[in-house]
Chains A and B, each alone.
Chain A
Amino acid sequence: AQTVTQSQPEMSVQEAETVTLSCTYDTSESDYYLFWYKQPPSRQMILVIRQEAYKQQNATENRFSVNFQKAAKSFSLKISDSQLGDAAMYFCAYRGNNDMRFGAGTRLTVKP
Chain B
Amino acid sequence: DADVTQTPRNRITKTGKRIMLECSQTKGHDRMYWYRQDPGLGLRLIYYSFDVKDINKGEISDGYSVSRQAQAKFSLSLESAIPNQTALYFCATSVDRGYGYTFGSGTRLTVV
Inter-chain contact A99/B42, CB cutoff 8 Å: no
Q: Which of B54-85 contact A (CB under 8 A)?
A: 56, 58-59
Inter-chain contact B40/A99, CB cutoff 8 Å: no
Contacting B48 at CB < 8 Å: which of A42, A98, A104? A98
Give complex CA distance A42, B9 in Å.
12
Give complex CA distance A101, B105 in Å.
19
Min CB distance B59 to A, Å, is: 8
Closest to A4 in B: B42
Inter-chain contact B98/A52, CB cutoff 8 Å: yes
Inter-chain contact B100/A43, CB cutoff 8 Å: no
Known A99-B33, A99-B48; judge A44-B105 contact (CB<8 A).
Answer: yes
How many residues on chain B are close to A (CB under 8 Å)? 24
Task: Tell me if A68 is interfacial: C-beta within 8 Å of chain B.
Answer: no
Q: Which of A54-112 contact B (CB under 8 A)?
A: 91, 93, 95-105
Known A33-B97, A47-B100; judge A105-B42 contact (CB<8 A).
Answer: yes
24 of the cross-chain contacts (CB-CB < 8 Å) are A1-B59, A4-B42, A9-B40, A33-B97, A35-B100, A43-B105, A43-B108, A44-B103, A45-B90, A50-B100, A52-B98, A91-B42, A93-B100, A95-B97, A96-B97, A97-B97, A98-B48, A98-B56, A100-B92, A100-B101, A102-B42, A103-B42, A104-B42, A105-B40
Footprint of A on B, CB under 8 Å?
Answer: 33, 35, 40-45, 48, 56, 58-59, 88, 90, 92, 97-101, 103, 105-106, 108
